A = this chain, B = another copy of it.
Amino acid sequence: MAEHRTWRDQRRDETLQTIKTVARRQMAEQGTTAISLRAIARDMNIAVSALYRYFPGLDDLLTALIVDNFTALAAALEAARDAHAGRPYRAQLWAVLLAYRGWAVTNPVDFQLIYGNPIPGYHAPREQTVPAVVRGFSVIVGLIEALFQAGEAVPAPPYDAVPPSQRDHIRAMIASDGYPVSELALYLGVAGWTRLHGIIMLELFNHLQPVIGDVGAYYRQEVAALFHEFGVKPPPDG
């Protein structure tokens, strides 16, 4: 019955994409909390109530946007890795970490929606977001693991073992989310993530530019410092 795609099905998909595109544009102009069905409908020259054909309510639109953003971020990381396939893993990791900031800087509001202030009254359903998060984070920890296996990194203190107070959680996370990596690789992934995340957040809200000017250069220094402390040989380039 509903097996072949009718013209109507196709139009439906297009409209659904348009809704999300308009929503993203409006968030870019007004901030993540300013998202509004009425504003989207106005922009599309459509009745507000028509939107309810596509989403049961505002929260579901938000969830769709959040999942899209995690997925787009993951895709950007994968693309950065694959663009350097065949080169040393440390070069791939370097590219991936730069791509992380790159995506955040070119899609600042999408990044805010994911990692910024929660939207009052809205809670993202974890079962929908977690897979997309895992997909992105896997790129990073997968390369760290590969680094060890290939001998491109020799762990040194204090980053040569998972501290006892974190071990249980790290282990549980590997089990429940299915990361195919060692505990140490996952732990170093988290450590690198928390460290670089601060730069990106401060940059997005313009707290860092007046202080150090070229944030891109600063970020690259911090990634290099991270490599140094994780016992990774310096990457061939950059």
Contacts and interface: CB of A to CB of B under 8 A. Distances in A.
Contacts of A31: 33, 117-120
Task: Give the number of times this chain occurs in the complex, counting copies.
Answer: 2
A62 to B, nearest CB: 14
B120 A117 contact: no
A179 B208 CA distance: 17
A237 B193 CA distance: 27
Contact of A211 (B34, B169, B197, B218): B169
A197 B121 CA distance: 25
A190 B211 contact: yes
Interface string A196-238: 1111111001011011111001100110110011000000000
B166 A212 contact: yes
A217 B165 contact: yes
Given A194-B199, A217-B165, A210 B173 contact: yes
- Interface bracket on A: 35 or more
Interface in A151-170: 158-159, 163, 165-166, 168-170
B217 A163 contact: yes
A208 to B, nearest CB: 7
B173 A211 contact: yes
A112 interface: yes
A222 B205 contact: no
A30 interface: yes
A197 B202 contact: yes
Interface of A: 30-34, 112, 115-121, 158-159, 163, 165-166, 168-170, 173, 187, 190-191, 193-202, 205, 207-208, 210-214, 217-218, 221-222, 224-225, 228-229
**Ordered nearest first, which 7 A-B pairs have the shortest CB separation?**
A198-B198, A197-B198, A31-B120, A169-B213, A165-B217, A117-B117, A33-B33
